[in-house]
């Protein structure tokens, strides 16, 4: 069973770059991207993210079914980096999944991750520090993402909160 590191932070806080630095210490890295390029601006963001990753890493673009992907991957990697859980939750909700279905999917994924021998690094946004969203969909997303983060923290060996590029250890580690 490998170590699980959960990295949490606000938008543009530096959490993805920090996760990349951690993963670069490993040789066989699987990068699981949950983002979908739905517009020109997002395509450019994805392109820049790809350029920041070493070329020998294996990238998997999977917006929803991470558990099946993890099963197919087996133990071929010594590090699995998932960026990010927040987009995964968004993708599931926008695909019509209800709260209970999202949480069931995430729970299955977390159980699979806990069984991996690889080091696992998960990235997610802290969505509970801002304003209360103005519409029901926004509030539902915030509530589900908050619950997902709590589930991930519970199984993680180490949790870091990134603020303006500075990591603060919340759980585990030295």
DSSP state of 75: T
Diameter of the chain by CA atoms? Answer: 45
Known catalytic membership, residue 49? yes
> Can you tell me whether residue 16 is helix, strand or coil?
helix
Do strands 166-171 and 158-163 pair parallel, antiparallel, or not at all (unpaired)? antiparallel
Q: Output b/e per residue, 3-36; b: 16+ Cβ within 10 A.
A: ebbbbbbbeebbbbebbbebbeebeebbbbbbbb
Alpha carbons 120 and 123: distance in angstroms, whole number: 10
Rounded-to-integer distance, Cα 78 and Cα 99, Å? 32
Q: Which of 3, 28, 49, 147 is catalytic?
A: 49
Enzyme catalytic residues: 49
């Amino acid at each position: 069973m490998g170590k699980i590191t959960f990295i949490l932070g606000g938008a543009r806080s530096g959490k993805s770059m920090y996760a990349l630095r951690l993963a670069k210490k490993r040789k066989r890295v699987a990068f699981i991207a949950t983002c979908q390029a739905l517009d020109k601006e997002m395509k450019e963001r994805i392109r820049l993210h790809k350029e920041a990753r070493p070329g020998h890493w294996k990238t998997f673009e999977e917006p929803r079914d991470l558990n099946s992907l993890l099963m197919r991957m087996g133990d071929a990697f010594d590090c699995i980096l998932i960026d990010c859980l927040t987009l995964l939750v968004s993708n599931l909700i926008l695909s019509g999944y209800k709260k209970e279905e999202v949480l069931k999917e995430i729970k299955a994924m977390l159980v699979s991750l806990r069984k991996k021998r690889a080091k696992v690094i998960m990235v997610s946004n802290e969505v509970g520090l801002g304003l209360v969203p103005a519409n029901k969909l926004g509030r539902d997303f915030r509530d589900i993402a908050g619950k997902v983060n709590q589930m991930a923290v519970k199984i993680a060996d180490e949790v870091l909160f990134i603020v303006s590029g500075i990591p603060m250890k919340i759980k585990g580690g030295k």
